[in-house]
Amino acid sequence: MALVDAVANSIDVPLWRLFGGVSDSLSTAATIPTTSSAKAFDLAAKYYKLGFKTLEIKLGRNLNADIEVLQAVRAAHPHCLFILDANEGYTSKEAIEVLHKLNEKGVIPTVFEQPVHRDDWRGLGDVSNVARHKYGVSVAADESCRDLTDIKKLMEENIVDVINIKLSKFGVLGILEIVEMVKKSGLELMIDSVAETRLATGVAGHLAAGLGCFR
Ligand SMILES: [Mg+2]
């Protein structure tokens, strides 16, 4: 990352342009961590005021508590889009039940990320099928994407609609390779960061804006 940044600086080109120049700006979601519904309400109200239109909510511990959190977020930010990140917290049966209950309550997510354990490929595919066809929800793989072999499998077997890739996991060259690999597959890409430095998050932002292929 430092070398790419040094090259960009030496030729006086901003990083986003070096990565492809598609855009110099990005829309991003703000994250609501696993928390109480009261705290989630306050955070959602704060992000609403700041202009965030999409919120990523960490769930997957307790179905009823999770639904309360979502309803609190919806009350504080009536029109926001949801990305639900279960961080492998459910079985496939529970994840499908979650979708069913959320649909009943009118808090259906846009993206349901990593609903089941990283190695439960079959469960991931089962949740995806129901999410896609019954609720119009995209399922994303995060922890299930450990390397290019995983991504190839997810792509070829049509297991999910979206993959979440991280700069800290794949590096700049790895991400460029993945982007090339999934180009014609219809698989969509999202990018996020895990407790990285501001510098690394900045590079990820430039990369995503410059490449322009992250939703
Ligand atoms: Mg995640």
The SS3 of residue 35 is: coil
Number of compact structural domains in the chain = 1
b/e per residue, 78-110, with b = 16+ CB within 10 A? eebebbbbbbbbbebebbbebbeebeeeebbbb
Share of the chain above pLDDT 70, in %: 100
Residues 6+ apart with CB under 8 A from 99: 108, 112, 127, 130, 131, 134, 135, 137
Separation of CA 4 and ligand 1 centre (Å): 26
Task: Indicate if the pLDDT at residue 148 is higher than 90.
Answer: yes
State the pLDDT confidence band at 63, using cuts at 50, 70 and 90.
confident
The residue range of the domain holding 30 is 2-211
Distance of CA 156 to the CA centre of its chain: 20
What's the chain's average pLDDT? 93
Task: Indicate if the pLDDT at residue 1 is higher than 90.
Answer: no
Separation of CA 142 and ligand 1 centre (Å): 5
Q: Return the bridge partners of 39, or none.
A: none
pLDDT digits (tens, 9 = 90+) for 74-124: 999 999 999 999 999 999 999 999 999 999 988 899 999 999 999 999 999
Task: Indicate if the pLDDT at residue 61 is higher than 80.
Answer: no
State the pLDDT confidence band at 18, using cuts at 50, 70 and 90.
very high
Q: Return the bridge partners of 166, or none.
A: 192
Share of the chain above pLDDT 90, in %: 81
Two structure tokens written together for 19:
């990565």
pLDDT digits (tens, 9 = 90+) for 20-58: 999 999 999 999 999 999 999 999 999 999 999 999 999
Task: Indicate if the pLDDT at residue 194 is higher than 80.
Answer: no
Task: Indicate if the pLDDT at residue 196 is higher than 90.
Answer: no
Separation of CA 34 and ligand 1 centre (Å): 12
Task: Indicate if the pLDDT at residue 60 is higher than 80.
Answer: no
Task: Indicate if the pLDDT at residue 163 is higher than 90.
Answer: yes
Separation of CA 23 and ligand 1 centre (Å): 25
CA distance 182 to 93: 29
pLDDT at 2: 87
Separation of CA 73 and ligand 1 centre (Å): 19
- Where residue 175 sits, what CATH number does that domain have? 3.20.20.120
Q: Which residues make up the environment of ion ligand 1, defined by Cβ < 5 Å?
A: 85, 142
Separation of CA 33 and ligand 1 centre (Å): 11
**Among 99, 118, 121, CA closest to 110:** 99
DSSP for 45-70, written as a single string: HHHHHHT--EEEEE--S-HHHHHHHH
Two structure tokens written together for 142:
């995060």
